[in-house]
Chains A and B, each alone.
Chain A
Amino acid sequence: MIRSELIQKIADESPELTLRDVENIVGTVFDEITGAMAQGDRVELRGFGAFSVKSRDSRTGRNPRTGESVDVDSKHVPFFKTGKLLRDRLNGK
């Protein structure tokens, strides 16, 4: 399923809303999640999962093609942990 299919499914169930409204709603949900993480916040959606930010230490990497070593700065990366309910549902429980 891709973004436009998600929007269409919700639009089909919501005849009171325009497609533009639904695009806006779906966009808002994803923007809020990304925006929160960009501020270092967590997003906890019980039953679905939690988005958080993890820090990665700086390290010496290597260019796999040339074997040359390169310094990789420390950085922060997005992380998702699946919620219990969804994990159980994926396994037919």
Chain B
Amino acid sequence: MFKHLLSIRFAAAVLVAISLTSCEKETTTPQLRKTIDYSTLTETTPYSSLFVDETGKTTVDLSNGNNRYKMFQALNTYISSSISGNKQVDAAVLKNMFGNTGNAFADSTKLNTSGVQLRNVTASSWSTTEAEKVRAYFETYFTLTAEASKSVTATAAKGKAGKLGTYLVDERGIEPIQIIQKSLIGAMQYDYIGNVLLTKGLDADNSTLVSGKNYTQLEQNWDEAYGLLTLNQVYLKGSTDATRGTTEFALGSYIWEYNKGAYAKIHPAFLKGRAAIINNDKAELKKQADFIKAEIEKALAASALGYLGPKYIAATTDAARAHAIGEGLGFIYSLRFATVNGADAAFSDAIIKALVLDSAGGFWDLTPSKLTAASDAIKAKFKL
């Protein structure tokens, strides 16, 4: 019986190899797990509950994704708390957190020994040369933040770094912390989830277990994506348009805030995709991956629009305006990874340049016409 199965598996593998180039044909690969009936999945099915092996042992392992999520959170907390406590930021600490070197995280988190880092998955869908440029961009911003934080007790003004309200801005009125945080949402979270794990990652092996683990590489890829989006078993459980039902961070919270039409469908899509992996249902898997990517990109674009538009216009203080623009600039940077919509570095950079780099005053020289031009470019690209 076992032999028989193996030979079927082999035959199927050959079949797959033959039909790889054809995208319409339904293919069969050897199935490792018991088929899951899609109808058993509900909006509130916990992510880890159904995906088990024949002995009932879980095949889900969210640790890699969750550990990167926590590193991002820790990095963000370190800069934010420094500023709120009027303390200088140390660029070396940030670099260590980014690359998981020098035991940068608290021992209790066990992140130092987790074996993962943020740096090597940042812009990792790009060539090494291009990816290194993005990583260097962040490291430059770590230095700029540290530099600006020397003025943490001063009040900022045009041409002068310091604090506006509770926010640290550089001499152009740009808030480096927001640039880092919102750019990482695209360059690290979305690029790794959308362009790596849910694109190339879908071609990973699904017929053999990774050595020493209870999952296939494909299963792990999907789990890493989910684990990098949220720490919760049911993403956005119990959320309404007005109130978020779970604690989410970074990308996970912006999908809720800026994609009201789809946030509730993200968890079901992750469940269905994971079930499709178990069922060897490649077509279904790709459908779910494509859906998740498209909806995340929509959220990223809408976030940028939200900060350039309503949040900036409605702000009544320089501090609130600078904060909105800092967030917006970070999201615009992130849009370069929105491959579904055909955005790229040139697209993002042109918008950022016209908004705040062409004029020496940066943020302080912003006008409604500059903001409108940026919004219009984003709307056109993302068909919003």
A and B: bona fide binding partners: no
